[in-house]
Amino acid sequence: MSTVALGKPVEFAFESLDERSVTAQAALGKPTIIVFVTTSNLLAQAQVDFLVAMANHDKGGTNFILVALERRDSRELVEIYRKALSVPFPVAMADEETLSGRGAFGDVSAVPVTVMLDRAGRIVWRVDGRVAKGGELREAMHGL
């Protein structure tokens, strides 16, 4: 578990696979869990499975977002991935800045990368390169 010192709210806007907004503005007001994945990584798939279970249980109390670290020409593959894993929350494609490690979330190459934002949009918790299970996520969310 990695607690992060509070700083300024992060600014982001990713291209959603559907009409749901995947932006910093849309995430405000609720705790938000963002997971950066690649479709070929099994640990990322396991992380998505934990998030799907949490999202189905929470029923709107938390924002969940999945960001695919894939090039634009892989959008169809990401849509198949979303359907295969029954992801009920927004899924988006990473932008070039994020893919290069220069985006708002820094280096996200050690997938899965799980980031938690507080209600104001500040990063309060982050785990890179391993699965964060439901209990660990809920403990990190305590008090948000």
Q: What is the pLDDT of residues 21-36, one digit of tens each?
A: 999 999 999 999 999 9
Q: Assign residue 67 the CATH number of its domain.
A: 3.40.30.10
DSSP the chain: --B----SPP--EEEESSSS-EEHHHHTTS-EEEEEE-TT-HHHHHHHHHHHHHHHHHTTSSEEEEEE---GGGHHHHHHHHHHTT--S-EEEPPHHHHTT-STT----SSSEEEEE-TTS-EEEEEESS---HHHHHHHHTT-
Does 21 map to a domain?
Answer: yes
Q: What is the pLDDT of residue 6?
A: 66
pLDDT band at 123 (very low <50, low <70, confident <90, very high): very high
Query: Quick one: pLDDT at residue 5?
Result: 55
Domain assignment present for 24: yes
The domain containing residue 98 runs over which residues?
13-128
Model confidence band, residue 7 (pLDDT cutoffs 50, 70, 90): confident
Model pTM score: 0.94
Please give the tally of structural domains in the chain.
1
pLDDT tens string 62-98: 999 999 999 999 999 999 999 999 999 999 999 999 9
Residue 134 domain flag: no
